[in-house]
A and B are shown apart, each in its own frame.
Chain A
């Protein structure tokens, strides 16, 4: 039963991590242009940034 006292905080921490990650994606503007992101992968960037 004691395992609950480890697992419960652990799962709460994971959940909180998910919320923080979501807020980060929101702030980073990842939902600003949903259609553009979908179309952008179709562009061949032959002269794009060399990796």
Chain B
């Protein structure tokens, strides 16, 4: 049986078409590699000229191409083929997923921000004359009253609307029996508004409407930046996953292939799995023989041979043969998803972590509120009168400035995350950075983390590689690809026939040559458990090529850099002792354990966590539970979805060295955040007595508030890692 399995264009991707309101079809694709105006023009023109395509628009920021078809159906495969020909690999994007991008929280924040900006600017218009009055400029009492009323009419509604996100969050946290940073902010804003109104009504001295709105505006800026950055990291992580295993190929009654979204696979479906693809769901093999690579599931790097009747688990990589699989479970119920649930359970450990800002709030709230209450009680007792005492108490609340505190951490985290984002490290939450900074012990997984996680040619004679390369270039098999990579660019053999599950055959220098399994080439297999490929030319003795999962180039350097930062390093792997020991020696780690099951890994991390803060770096499903239990966790971008979900940080690049950079930035961010708290504390020690003595008026409050916010933000920008 000779099949060419380079038949991606034969698959039917029509399940990814979305129907618009006018009945026309549209398609969302994730396009990789488009960076400039040239790419943009080329892609849009090429796709736009395809028959049946009405419009094509590429979003250069997100890398998504939206294709609109003229009729109710379209040919996604033609679009993908056209993009492939231009050199931009494209993946269809689940229509459901594009809808999720619709981001309600972000819209609410930006609305609040716009209203606060309007309020801050326009209240200022009435505040400037009032401030001028403070410095002895002429301002009649009637005019002053008008200005105060106008200031309240504009400022108060804006403050109430813009403050909603804070009020709601404060209410939620109070109901949960805790006080987060939003509690003092909310109390401050509400009391300020109440006092300002009563002062305005009683024709009093000062009103602080402008301070309330400005406070909210500055805080919203920080909060919105934080939201945007996290959204960016989330969607980048989703894109990484979409590129991995977006589809399964289902065979219909007549044996035609249709690509369907993973979520649509039903038990009993017949699925086709090409070499180089991952098994989409748990199932039983119906047809075809192959080796499958379970390294993401168990950590074991030696491939396993499978034959019809064998069970396959979701997430395993098909190495050589064309397989037909009878689906045994839906994607949600597969082994993969079962581990994902295990992860969720483990992640609750981590939710007990109290964030720095909340710890500061827990200190700050009682102190400041006690001082304000004492100011009121003391002022009244010392004969100031209840009204003046109340004004001073509110002044204390305003100038002690939850503003600097509210910005102290978010500003630092935004600066740190965006710095890491540019270096290809996706930070999933601000708390993740704080936990990463505290880490003392690092646990590495071996396969796919310290190693490349894909077979590479080893111990190869360059002359042999050069002879094999033309044949290897013609195949999509992962091992052949490894040979092609090792050989570089060059000619391709002619008259290629791929024998599924066996190898590839073609003409090299006018002679028939074969590349594939030992039996296919006519050679004996020498050693079990090693990944090998044989190459034979008519009338010559076959040559053996060996493959192994090679260490990443910067693995040893990364381990050394971590040790230099005072961390202890350990390897926990599910692979065989020989392979793990070799890798451990090569990277300079003396502490390692091999042959661990996922549960043993998780237990080991638990035991380590008892007296140390552990950072786990792993990619496989067998790591997912351990990732979720560690104090902080990092997964490379090649990791399966469950592991990426369990990790706090995802490395989108190929370099392991990014771990060190992430650690440096996290530590530096922690220093900056603590400095900001220190600054806020010193500032409050000066401002609170001033307010108690009645030296604070609206002008001083406005200057102090924006000044301290500015200092805190500028300090946050100093976040950086030493290289």
Contacts and interface: CB of A to CB of B under 8 A. Distances in A.
A35 B61 contact: yes
Interface in A2-50: 4, 8, 11-12, 15-16, 18-19, 22-23, 26, 32-36, 39-43
B interface: dominant SS: helix
Contacts, number: 48
A8 B124 CA distance: 12
Contacts of B710: none
A51 interface: no
A10 to B, nearest CB: 11
A16 B59 CA distance: 31
B61 A11 contact: no
Contacts of B117: 19
Nearest to A14: B122
Contacts of B62: 32-33
A15 B115 CA distance: 10
B118 A18 contact: yes
Nearest to A5: B146
A41 B126 CA distance: 43
A26 B41 contact: no
B118 A40 contact: no
Contacts of A41: 37
Contacts of A32: 59, 61-62
Given A39-B36, A39-B37, A39-B40, A33 B60 contact: yes
A19 B62 CA distance: 27
Contacts of B122: 11-12, 15
A26 B37 contact: no
Contacts of B146: 4
B60 A36 contact: yes
A35 B232 CA distance: 14
B40 A40 contact: yes
Interface residues of A, number: 22
A23 B114 contact: yes
Query: For B37, B117, B143, which residue has the most chain A Cβ atoms within 10 angstroms?
Result: B37
A46 B40 CA distance: 15
Contacts of A8: 125-126, 150
B41 to A, nearest CB: 4
Interface in B433-481: none
Query: For A11, A19, A23, A41, which residue has the most chain B Cβ atoms within 10 angstroms?
Result: A19
Nearest to A34: B61
Contacts of A19: 114-115, 117-118
Nearest to B115: A19
Interface in B99-128: 110-111, 114-115, 117-118, 121-122, 125-126
Contacts of B213: none
Contacts of B125: 8, 11
Interface string B72-85: 00000000000000
A36 B118 contact: no
Nearest to A12: B122
Contacts of B121: 15
A46 to B, nearest CB: 10
Contacts of B143: 1
Contacts of B154: 12
B35 to A, nearest CB: 9
Nearest to B126: A8
A7 to B, nearest CB: 9
Query: For A1, A8, A32, which residue has the most chain B Cβ atoms within 10 angstroms?
Result: A8
Contacts of A26: 110
Nearest to B150: A8
B512 to A, nearest CB: 49
Contacts of B126: 8
B152 to A, nearest CB: 13
Given A11-B125, A33-B59, A40 B37 contact: yes
Nearest to A26: B110
A43 B44 CA distance: 11
Contacts of A33: 59-62
Interface string B23-55: 000000000000011001100000000000000
Contacts of A15: 118, 121-122
B340 interface: no
A16 B36 CA distance: 37
Interface string B506-522: 00000000000000000
Contacts of B36: 39
Nearest to B44: A43
Contacts of B425: none
Contacts of A18: 118
Nearest to A36: B60
A20 B125 CA distance: 20
A8 B121 CA distance: 13
A33 B371 CA distance: 49
A4 B110 CA distance: 31
B696 interface: no
A35 to B, nearest CB: 5
A5 to B, nearest CB: 9
Given A1-B143, A12-B154, A36 B40 contact: yes
B451 to A, nearest CB: 35
B398 to A, nearest CB: 24
Interface in B252-273: none
Nearest to A16: B118
A43 to B, nearest CB: 4
B59 A36 contact: yes
A8 B425 CA distance: 49
Nearest to A18: B118
B58 interface: yes
Contacts of B58: 36
Contacts of B150: 8
Contacts of A12: 122, 154
Nearest to A39: B37
Contacts of A4: 146
Interface string B135-146: 000000001001
Contacts of A39: 36-37, 40, 60
Given A23-B114, A41-B37, 16 more contacts: A1-B143, A19-B115, A19-B117, A26-B110, A32-B62, A33-B61, A35-B61, A36-B58, A39-B36, A39-B37, A39-B40, A40-B37, A40-B40, A42-B37, A43-B37, A43-B40
Q: Report, nearest first, the 7 A-B pairs whose CB atoms are least far apart.
A: A36-B60, A42-B37, A39-B37, A43-B41, A33-B59, A35-B60, A33-B61
Interface of A: 1, 4, 8, 11-12, 15-16, 18-19, 22-23, 26, 32-36, 39-43
22 contacts: A8-B126, A11-B122, A12-B122, A15-B118, A15-B122, A16-B118, A19-B114, A19-B118, A22-B114, A23-B111, A23-B114, A26-B110, A32-B61, A33-B61, A33-B62, A34-B61, A36-B40, A36-B61, A39-B40, A42-B37, A43-B37, A43-B40
Interface of B: 36-37, 40-41, 58-62, 110-111, 114-115, 117-118, 121-122, 125-126, 143, 146, 150, 154
